[in-house]
Structure 1
Amino acid sequence: MWHRERPAGHARSWRTLLPEQPSRADSAPAVRGAVRVTVAAVAGFYPAIHLLDRPVLALYTLFVPVAFGLLSPLPGAGRRRAGTVLRAVPAAAALITLGTYLAAATWSAALGMLLVGFVLVVGASLGPRAAGVVPALQLCYILACFPPYAPGTLSDRLAGLAVGATATVLCERLLLPEPERPSYRSRVADGLELAARAVRELLRGGADGRETAERLRAAGRELRLSRTAPGTRPTGAGARDRALAQAGYATRRFLDLLAVLAPQLRPPVDLPSAVLLRGLAAACADEAAALRGSRPAPGFERIEEMIERYAAARGVPPDLRGDPHPLLRRQSTLLAAAVSAVTVSAALALTAGRRRPTTGLPVEEFWYAGASTPRLWWVRIADHLTPRSVVFQNAVRTASGLALARLVAGSLDLSHGFWVLLGMLTLGRTTAGATWSAVRSATAGTLVGSLAAGVLLVSAGDATEVYAALLVPMMLVAFSAGPVGGPAWGQGLFTLVVSTAFAQIAPVTWQLAEARIVDVLTGSVIGLVCGVLAWPAGARGEMRRGAAALLRGAAPLIRITVERAATGRSAPTARADAAAALRRALLDRRIAHAAYAQLRTEPPSRRPVDTGPDWLAALNFGSRVLTGTSWLPWSEGSAWPPDAATWAREATEEVVSATLRAAAFPADGVTVRPPPLPPGILTRLPAPSVSHLVDVEVWLHALASDLAAVGPGGTVKGGLW
């Protein structure tokens, strides 16, 4: 009954079909949730059925708390969860009303299910709040769209919604509320505070560079969304969530670049670098304080001014002996870190409510700054209205499955036919293998639960007081073990709960358990059919296509960026020649990121984990290209001499051709060997072109490192960009 991914290819033993009891640590949140859902459900159910004798009202007061409190992954702590339920009540009322009137005919109810299912799944992409209530909203329509066609009961249905939602809100707020978890804002603040301390210690010579680098990289890994609780992830479509997510990505990039610099920063550091590093440390401390609410968010203009001064002042000191190349590479890395700090500062200003465009920064990077919330919602939805999107694929798969289940249940006149849709909804997975694994476990659990329910119904007969006494303990056990025990425990225990509840609503016999088996099996078969016919590989196939499109789309941007540097033109201005390619690459990146996010939730394939491409390296490559396109070079300079321009073209073509080869994901990966700089060229170039040339060299070698990591078994190396 509860949605939980299981690895495809489970062992086929009976013990596997009924998995082991969950651990105590995993059970604690489930027990709290079980208490809240049980209290909310019975608070309206018992008075409605035993005092008022209104079965329709009782049914809705029972299932609304189950839908919102159990089936829906509501984000956040108690107060936020309660607010999410309140905001969803109008939509739930509209869906109940729609389902009530469309139940007049099977075909109209099925068409309504098709539309509702598609819209809700696509709408879930708007953010965690929307995604959290989608299962509950689907259940509201499912309950209402089944026979009997009774528009006269609409008032009781809506009253049941009101009572059940009110009880759910009160329990989420007052009864064992979910504790607050560290927010993503606090994680970003922790990373920035660490960066400020690390830079100051390194400049004083009081820290070991390698140990500091490890701490910085570890802090960067903590900013992955996978390390953050689902309810606190900034995945919404609004400007503030987009800005906070961008601040997190940029902070991680900043920390990784500081980690590359840390072993190289030994006093005395050249004066321009030391000044910039002190300024970055101060800016990081101010931004961390703003994230914690102790001061207003600083603007990005201060860091931008520091970058401009540094870009003009950096270079080879006149008294430096030996090869200047290491110093120039270090300066290029520091400048890249400073650009990441600009992105962090600008994004944090947007999280504080600044809605004006970030003048002076790349418009593609902060395109959402001046956009209205409805427009941002539409952009998020429009991004996924393509068969390439896993969101679109999931919407088609879910909507067609629910519509087919409604059509089958209505045409065959199945008793309690909404269980068919509920089974399809809760057992459906994004891959055919995972669906089959869930169905096998759920079938075993349903059979065992139905046998136990049949024995109970035969033994208790019409003794309503027995069912009333058993309902609460059964709900507590089912709602505690089901969410963490897997489909077998969930379906088996839920069968006992619904049998006990329905025995109080109307006279029943052991045939209720039989109907439960038939309905769940029917829904499972429909879910399997849809899983096999509609994108059975889930995100895996789309991940390959999306990553390939991102790599192919990034290739021309590499040429454009290096050409601008070689001709002495600044990248952040007058980039009309790259506008179309940038828009395409940005869309490709959003589609690929959505596929990767879903892929992380799916069971692994049967082949060894080290034999496939490194999708994260491909995504990192795309982000690195887009960052370089926006910021490289840092300021206008003079055109490079012929030998430097020739080297740039050759190195660029080597990386571009490797990018296009990597887009096919060959079994043996790709080999990238950009040619070295011509001997003595750094001494022949005028400033600041010498620094621009090293910037391009560092960037191309970092791209080559990412491409090599994309291959099977590759690892992302520590690039300097």
Structure 2
Amino acid sequence: MRAEASPVARIGTLLADAGWTAILHRSVRVTLASATGFYVFLYGLDEPVLALYALFAPIALGLLSAVPGSGRQRAEVMLKALPVGLALVALGTALAVRTWAAVLGMLVVGFLLAFAAVAGPRPAGAAPGLQLFYILACFPPYAPQTLGLRLAGLSTGVVLLALCEVVLLPQPGGRTYRSGVARAVAIAGDTLAGRVRLPPEALRAEGERLRLSVFPPAERPAGPGRAVRGLAQAGSAARRLLEQLAHLTETGHLHHLLGGGHRHSDRASRWLVPQVAARCAESAAALRTGRVAPVPQRLDEAIGAFQRMRMRQGARTGAEGPGVVAVLRRQAALLGVAESVRALEISVRVGLDGRRTAPIEPRELFWYTNAPTARLWVRRFAGNMTLRSVQLHNALRIALALGAARLVAGSLDLTHGFWVLLAVLTLSRTTVGQTWAAVRQAVAGNLVGAVAAGALLIGLGEHTDAYAAILAPGMLIAFSVGPLLGIAWAQALFTLVVATAFAQITPATWRLAEARIVDVVTGSLIGLLCALLAWPSGARREVRRTMATLLHACASLIRATAAALAAVPPGSAPPPSTSHALHRMRLAESAYAQFRSEPAARAAAGADWHGVLIAAHQILLGAHWLPRFDLPATALPPDAARRAWADARAAAGTVDRLAALCDGERPPPEVARTEGAPAPTPPLVTLVDLEVWLTSLTAQLSRAEAGLPGATGPHGRGR
């Protein structure tokens, strides 16, 4: 068996990574901010309450919280969080009068701050530190007369940390999401204009560069505002566009659309392709400069004219025209590309402008562009108030764990009981396995740290000058080496820091280290119990459930889309409503994002959940643009209507099979398609477009089904 590397060797390996400099710089900033306030207030003004809060405020927001972004961005978040922190300290100070009041307050505060993750990465990053502000204040002694000192110490610590973030080794900014989308859109425009010829793998690789996990958390468009939603939608449209171009390259359609081969008088495509390429170039330029054109140049009218040209061209050529069906299929693929670019240019304009606009069709897809800001926030929070939301799971889990920890610490009158809650806050994970692994390491580290702290307290006794001399170097070592070596080392070193700090505030003996061990073990057991009882599998099961409900909603959309196209008379059937499917899509994306951050994702690597989401996106878009641009002027012939219905039922059956596999149920039998049925004469644009959409969709669904446990079809593994 291979021997485990020594701590020195592990440090050497980790230091070779560029990330160590960020950890070291952060430890310098937190140490300077914490030590400055602590020393000035304790030794300069002889105010231990001021010193305590000035010490822990930078630790809470600078170390315990993972506030993302550059130094300036982090400082901005910290200063914006300061009023919330002051309110939490005031609330905790008032509720410390009774244990039951403090517990109720902890439940409410714990839930609200944890649930704030739905507002984006920056509120989520600051939440743990804000939790600590309430935790510090809600423990005895009940001393409302010290509230002013507590608020002053907290304010000083936060301001000092924000100042250090800006002027002392500031964190540089990362690659912005907007620049990534601009690059992808520019490549798509160059491909459509024929300036570059990339293989399908390269086009898909460019799309992969837009995955949110590639970007720093501060740059990910995850908030509820209009500009953020628009930028996120622009990124999705760009990824979809690159995937479509990769598919066109594989099939050879792109070669024909750009002038290669025989185009059979395909004037409609020759007219539309340059316009689509130009819109891509304009959108890329707007993303780079941050400025949009004063007059929007949307593709609505161009796509409508393109469809009318196709109808006239098909009517002229009839059944005698050579390769008419092949031309119509290429045009159908181009129509899908044009619709992606149309969605792209609209979302880019909204993402850069951010102001309310007139309603944009389809309204269900761009509902946020005309919504008031308050409605955007309410919809984001209300949309996650469901047991299908992993954000709600996490908020309930942490609130119950913190509330139980506060009840136990108050009922048992544990010394320094806030360490119980701090253990819950720092060691809780989204799965019971992760929590157990963190607890084991933390308890082991605290045992070692407690022994070392006890020896330190016995050896130094009441020599506060000695503790003062080693506090700042100890913090610097603990805050830099601890994160490099892992939870056990971080807990051990932090125990030494805590013992050194409290020994300067009040006379302390080796029992301080004993109290920390008892508190950390108590908090660890509470956190582990809550993890065991509340959604112990994390997002592993929820991702299956949310994907299944999303696919069931998408199957209904396929049937509704076919019904809208085959209605007699045309236009008598309402267009399919996608609001339910869009809501399910957001929940599924949230569950998938958490699933990818958990070890369970490696255990189920065969399940292509990302492929399921891509297929669902294609269904949602087709349900919008097919009834919008492909509604026939006259009713489809009976044979054509039957063919459309049969193909739609087969595709919807494939979606239902995939949903059943996601839920772990027995899938229904496959529904045969109509490949052998004769095509209408002359070929119908509406039917060809529907067929191209369903064929592409079925191929994506088959690839996604192949990785799911229980798949037994030709693409499945039979697991």
CA distance in 1, matches of 2:21, 2:278: 42
1:33 paired to 2:22: no
TM-score, normalised with respect to structure 1: 0.91
Q: Which residue of 2 aligns with 1:718?
A: none
- Contact 1:467-1:501 within 8 A present in 2 as well: yes
Distance 1:588 1:408, change over 3 A: same
Q: Within 5 Å, which residues of 2 pair with 1:388-467?
A: 388-467=388-467
Q: Partner letter of residue 90 of structure 1?
A: P
Q: Which residue of 2 aligns with 1:344?
A: 344
Q: Residue 653 of structure 2 is aligned with which of 652, 657, 661? A: 657
User: 1:27: Cα distance to partner?
Assistant: 1.3
CA distance in 1, matches of 2:7, 2:309: 68
Secondary structure of the structure 1 residue equivalent to 2:368:
coil
Q: Partner letter of residue 702 of structure 1?
A: S
CA distance in 2, matches of 1:670, 1:30: 53
Secondary structure of the structure 2 residue equivalent to 1:711:
helix
Q: Which residue of 1 aligns with 2:713?
A: none
Q: How many residues align?
A: 690
- Contact 1:77-1:177 within 8 A present in 2 as well: yes
Q: Within 5 Å, which residues of 2 pair with 1:211-290?
A: 211-262=198-249, 263-266=252-255, 267-268=259-260, 270-290=266-286
CA distance in 1, matches of 2:72, 2:572: 48
Q: Residue 681 of structure 1 is aligned with which of 653, 665, 679? A: 679
CA distance in 1, matches of 2:507, 2:295: 68
1:704 paired to 2:679: no
CA distance in 1, matches of 2:520, 2:5: 21
CA distance in 2, matches of 1:233, 1:608: 26
User: 1:468: Cα distance to partner?
Assistant: 1.4
User: 1:322: Cα distance to partner?
Assistant: 4.3
User: 1:478: Cα distance to partner?
Assistant: 1.4
Q: Within 5 Å, which residues of 2 pair with 1:295-694?
A: 295-297=291-293, 301-314=297-310, 318=317, 322-353=322-353, 355-357=355-357, 359-567=359-567, 576=574, 578-579=576-577, 582-604=578-600, 607=603, 609-610=605-606, 613-633=607-627, 634-637=629-632, 638-665=634-661, 675-677=673-675, 681-685=679-683, 690-694=684-688
Secondary structure of the structure 2 residue equivalent to 1:265:
helix
Distance 1:387 1:359, change over 3 A: closer
Q: Which residue of 2 aligns with 1:3?
A: none
Distance 1:627 1:466, change over 3 A: same
After TM superposition, the structure 1 stretch with the greater mean CA deviation from structure 2, 675-684 or 11-20, is 11-20
CA distance in 2, matches of 1:351, 1:158: 38
Matched-pair identity in %: 47
TM-score, normalised with respect to structure 2: 0.91
After TM superposition, the structure 1 stretch with the greater mean CA deviation from structure 2, 670-679 or 145-154, is 670-679
Secondary structure of the structure 2 residue equivalent to 1:146:
coil
Q: Partner letter of residue 698 of structure 1?
A: V
After TM superposition, the structure 1 stretch with the greater mean CA deviation from structure 2, 315-324 or 219-228, is 315-324
CA distance in 2, matches of 1:496, 1:397: 30
CA distance in 2, matches of 1:523, 1:41: 25
More RCO (CA 8 Å, sep 6+):
1
Task: Give the CA RMSD over aligned residues.
Answer: 2.7
User: 1:15: Cα distance to partner?
Assistant: 7.7
Q: Within 5 Å, which residues of 2 pair with 1:86-101?
A: 86-101=79-94
User: 1:574: Cα distance to partner?
Assistant: 8.4
Q: Which residue of 2 aligns with 1:148?
A: 141
Q: Partner letter of residue 213 of structure 2?
A: S
User: 1:481: Cα distance to partner?
Assistant: 2.6
Distance 1:626 1:436, change over 3 A: same
Q: Residue 65 of structure 2 is aligned with which of 52, 69, 72? A: 72
Query: Which 5+ residue runs of structure 2 have no aligned equivalent?
Result: 710-719
CA distance in 1, matches of 2:361, 2:420: 53
Distance 1:671 1:455, change over 3 A: farther
Query: Which 5+ residue runs of structure 1 have no aligned equivalent?
Result: 1-10, 716-721
CA distance in 2, matches of 1:37, 1:592: 37
Q: Partner letter of residue 137 of structure 2?
A: A
After TM superposition, the structure 1 stretch with the greater mean CA deviation from structure 2, 168-177 or 312-321, is 312-321
User: 1:482: Cα distance to partner?
Assistant: 2.7
User: 1:410: Cα distance to partner?
Assistant: 0.7
1:23 paired to 2:17: no
User: 1:312: Cα distance to partner?
Assistant: 1.6
Q: Which residue of 2 aligns with 1:185?
A: 178
Q: Residue 713 of structure 1 is aligned with which of 700, 703, 707? A: 707
After TM superposition, the structure 1 stretch with the greater mean CA deviation from structure 2, 297-306 or 50-59, is 297-306
Q: Over residues 276-298 of structure 1, what are the superposed CA-to-partner deviations in whole Å (9 max), with x where a residue is unaligned?
A: 22112211111111112264246
Distance 1:15 1:99, change over 3 A: farther
Secondary structure of the structure 2 residue equivalent to 1:386:
coil
1:113 paired to 2:100: no
After TM superposition, the structure 1 stretch with the greater mean CA deviation from structure 2, 334-343 or 705-714, is 705-714
Q: Partner letter of residue 281 of structure 2?
A: A
User: 1:520: Cα distance to partner?
Assistant: 0.7
Q: Residue 127 of structure 1 is aligned with which of 120, 125, 142? A: 120
User: 1:588: Cα distance to partner?
Assistant: 1.3
CA distance in 2, matches of 1:677, 1:641: 18
Q: Over residues 68-101 of structure 1, what are the superposed CA-to-partner deviations in whole Å (9 max), with x where a residue is unaligned?
A: 1111111211111111111111111110000001
CA distance in 2, matches of 1:496, 1:114: 30
Q: Within 5 Å, which residues of 2 pair with 1:164-179?
A: 164-179=157-172
User: 1:115: Cα distance to partner?
Assistant: 0.5
Q: Partner letter of residue 14 of structure 2?
A: S
Q: Which residue of 2 aligns with 1:162?
A: 155
CA distance in 2, matches of 1:569, 1:457: 88
Q: Which residue of 1 aligns with 2:714?
A: none
User: 1:486: Cα distance to partner?
Assistant: 2.6
- Contact 2:298-2:346 within 8 A present in 1 as well: no
- Contact 2:38-2:52 within 8 A present in 1 as well: yes
User: 1:617: Cα distance to partner?
Assistant: 2.2
CA distance in 2, matches of 1:485, 1:562: 58
Q: Which residue of 1 aligns with 2:715?
A: none
User: 1:13: Cα distance to partner?
Assistant: 10
Q: Partner letter of residue 122 of structure 1?
A: F
- Contact 1:558-1:625 within 8 A present in 2 as well: yes
CA distance in 1, matches of 2:270, 2:235: 25
Q: Residue 695 of structure 1 is aligned with which of 689, 697, 714? A: 689
User: 1:707: Cα distance to partner?
Assistant: 2.5
User: 1:451: Cα distance to partner?
Assistant: 1.6
Q: Partner letter of residue 106 of structure 1?
A: T
Q: Partner letter of residue 631 of structure 2?
A: E
Q: Partner letter of residue 663 of structure 1?
A: A
Distance 1:17 1:576, change over 3 A: farther
